[in-house]
C-alpha cells in the first residue's frame, strides 16, 4: 500500500473535528470501481496488512482503507468519552459519508462502490447499506454482528483479561495505535456495557437493496452462524457463506477460501449488471 495520508473531517453537532488516517490502493486503476475496507473493533490500516491490496488486484478494483476515529493514527478517543450504544451506526451514517465527501468520492463513484467490512466493520457496512440503499454497488460483511451473543461477550471478557495481564497483547496492539488504551477500551467498554446487551439491528436490515454477501467461519470464537443466518432471513437476496475454518479473521487465517467466495460473488454481480 501507499503511505498513509490524513483527511480532516469538520466538526458537527454530534462530534468534534477528526483527523482520519487513510490510504488508496490501485490508484492506477482510475476508472475501476472502488472498494472501501472497514476494519474490526481493534483494527486499523496497518492491521489489515496486505489483504486489501491482494483482493483489489484480484477484483480489478481501486481500494480505500482507513482507520476509524480512536484507531491507528486517526484522532484518538478521549479517555473520558465512552462510545454510545449506536456507535457503529454513527460510523456508517456520519463518519464514512463525511470521509467520502472529504476525499471527493462523487455520487457516481459511490453508486459503483463496494463495502468490505470485517466484524465491527461488517456491521458498519450493513448500516451503510440500509441507510443508503442506492449509494453502493454491493457489500461484503465478514463475521458481522447484528445482535449480541453470549459467546461474543465471553470472548471480549477473555481478551480484556489478556490485555490487562502480562500476555504481550497490549504491547502488540500498541504497534498499530497511537493511543492503544483509547482503542482497546473504546471497544471493550461498550461491548461489555449492560446497556449494550440488548443492542440489535435486525429490524434495519430489511432496507438493504444492494447485493450482499455475508460470510462467517464455523470456528469463529466471537460469534456463531446465527449472525449470518439472521441476515439471510432479513435480506432474502443476500448470499450467506459458511467457511469451514478461518476463525474470527478469515482474511488472515483462510484468505484463499474467503477471497474465492468474494470474487465469485462480485463477478456474478458484474455479469448480472451487464446483462440487465
- Residue 14 has what pLDDT? 85
Euclidean distance between CA atoms 154 and 148, whole angstroms: 11
| Angle (nearest 5°) at CA 24 between 23 and 28 | 155
**In DSSP terms, which residues pair with 73 in a beta bridge?**
none
145-180 tens-digit pLDDT: 999 999 999 999 999 999 999 889 999 999 999 999
Euclidean distance between CA atoms 42 and 54, whole angstroms: 21
CB 133 within 8 A of CB 127: no
**In DSSP terms, which residues pair with 7 in a beta bridge?**
20
Look up the domain containing 262 and give its range: 5-275
User: For the domain that residue 209 is a member of, what is the CATH number?
Assistant: 3.40.50.1820
> If you average pLDDT over residues 96-108, what whole number do you get?
97
- Residue 273 has what pLDDT? 83
Please give the C-alpha separations between residue 220 and each of 59, 198, 204, 226, in angstroms, as whole numbers.
26, 21, 24, 12
Euclidean distance between CA atoms 61 and 24, whole angstroms: 11
CB 130 within 8 A of CB 207: yes
> Rounded to a whole number, what is the distance in angstroms from the first to the last CA of the chain?
35
- Residue 2 has what pLDDT? 64
* pLDDT above 60 (res 1): no
- Residue 274 has what pLDDT? 81
DSSP summary character for residue 141: E
Overall number of domains in the chain:
1
- Entry pTM: 0.97
* pLDDT above 60 (res 236): yes
What is the pLDDT of the chain when averaged over all its residues?
Answer: 96
* pLDDT above 80 (res 223): yes
Instruction: Compute the CA torsion angle 160, 161, 162, 166 (nearest 10 deg).
Output: 130
- Residue 172 has what pLDDT? 97
Amino acid at each position: 500500500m501507499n503511505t498513509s495520508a490524513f483527511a480532516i473531517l469538520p466538526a458537527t453537532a454530534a462530534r468534534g473535528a477528526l483527523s482520519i488516517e487513510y490510504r488508496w490502493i490501485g490508484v492506477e486503476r482510475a476508472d475501476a470501481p472502488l472498494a472501501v475496507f472497514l476494519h474490526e473493533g481493534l483494527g486499523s490500516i496497518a492491521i489489515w496488512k496486505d489483504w486489501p491490496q491482494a483482493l483489489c488486484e484480484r477484483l480489478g478494483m481501486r481500494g480505500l482503507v482507513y482507520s476509524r476515529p480512536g484507531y491507528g493514527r486517526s484522532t484518538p478517543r478521549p479517555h473520558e468519552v465512552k462510545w454510545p450504544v449506536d456507535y457503529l451506526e454513527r460510523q456508517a451514517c456520519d463518519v464514512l459519508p463525511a470521509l467520502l465527501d472529504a476525499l471527493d468520492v462523487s455520487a457516481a463513484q459511490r453508486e459503483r462502490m463496494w463495502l468490505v467490512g470485517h466484524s465491527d466493520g461488517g456491521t458498519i457496512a450493513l448500516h451503510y447499506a440500509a441507510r443508503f440503499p442506492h449509494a453502493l454497488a454491493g457489500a461484503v460483511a465478514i463475521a458481522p454482528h447484528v445482535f449480541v451473543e453470549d459467546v461474543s461477550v465471553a470472548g471480549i471478557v477473555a481478551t480484556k483479561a489478556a490485555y490487562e495481564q502480562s500476555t504481550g497483547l497490549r504491547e502488540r496492539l500498541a504497534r498499530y495505535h497511537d493511543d492503544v488504551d483509547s482503542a482497546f477500551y473504546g471497544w471493550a467498554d461498550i461491548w461489555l456495557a449492560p446497556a449494550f446487551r440488548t443492542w440489535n439491528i435486525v429490524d434495519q436490515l430489511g432496507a438493504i437493496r444492494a447485493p450482499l454477501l455475508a460470510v462467517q467461519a464455523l470456528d469463529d470464537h466471537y460469534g456463531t452462524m446465527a449472525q449470518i443466518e439472521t441476515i439471510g432471513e432479513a435480506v432474502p437476496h443476500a448470499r450467506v457463506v459458511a467457511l469451514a475454518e478461518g476463525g474470527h479473521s478469515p482474511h488472515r487465517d483462510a484468505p484463499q477460501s474467503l477471497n474465492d467466495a468474494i470474487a465469485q460473488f462480485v463477478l456474478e454481480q458484474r455479469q448480472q449488471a451487464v446483462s440487465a
